[in-house]
Amino acid sequence: MSSCLFCRIARGEIPSKKIYEDDDVLAFHDIHPAAPVHFLLVPKLHLDSLLDAGSEHEALFGKMIGLAPRLAKELGCDNGFRVVINNGPDGGQEVFHLHIHIMGGPRPWKRL
Ligand code: AMP
Ligand code: ZN
């Protein structure tokens, strides 16, 4: 079993402020928010980053992109939000389990 931080959060072994969960994905609030609303959407399947992704993951990513506005609006981001995926060391990634940052709320707020 993976000792990866977000795999452990997905298994419920490490607590998170959960927003949404289904068989494929989990959304939870970022522990160090960079915006008034800042949550992470992660697949339960472990992929290090988009560098590991293939055509077999297209349906999963489509689902995640579809969920992003729905969850953002549920958290009050009616006026827009930002989506960021950091990939690999040169992409500024720190947790090597693929995740989408979703950030919104009144600007200005710090850019990642
Ligand atoms: P990245 O640089 O794209 O890998 O971003 C990793 C993000 O994970 C950062 O914004 C962290 O604040 C966030 N993070 C790290 N540990 C946790 C945790 N236990 N629960 C929620 N968010 C976390
Ligand atoms: Zn993982």
Strand order in the sheet with 81-84: 18-21, 25-29, 37-43, 100-104, 81-84
Nearest-CA residue for ligand 1 atom 20 is 31
CB of 31 closer than 6 angstroms to any ligand 1 atom: yes
At 78-109, the pLDDT tens digits run 999 999 999 999 999 999 999 999 999 987 76
pTM: predicted TM-score of the whole model, two decimal places: 0.95
Give the pLDDT band of residue 1 (cuts 50, 70, 90).
confident
> Rounded to the nearest whole angstrom, what is the distance from the C-alpha of residue 95 to the centroid of ligand 2?
9
Number of the ligand closest to the Cα of 38: 1
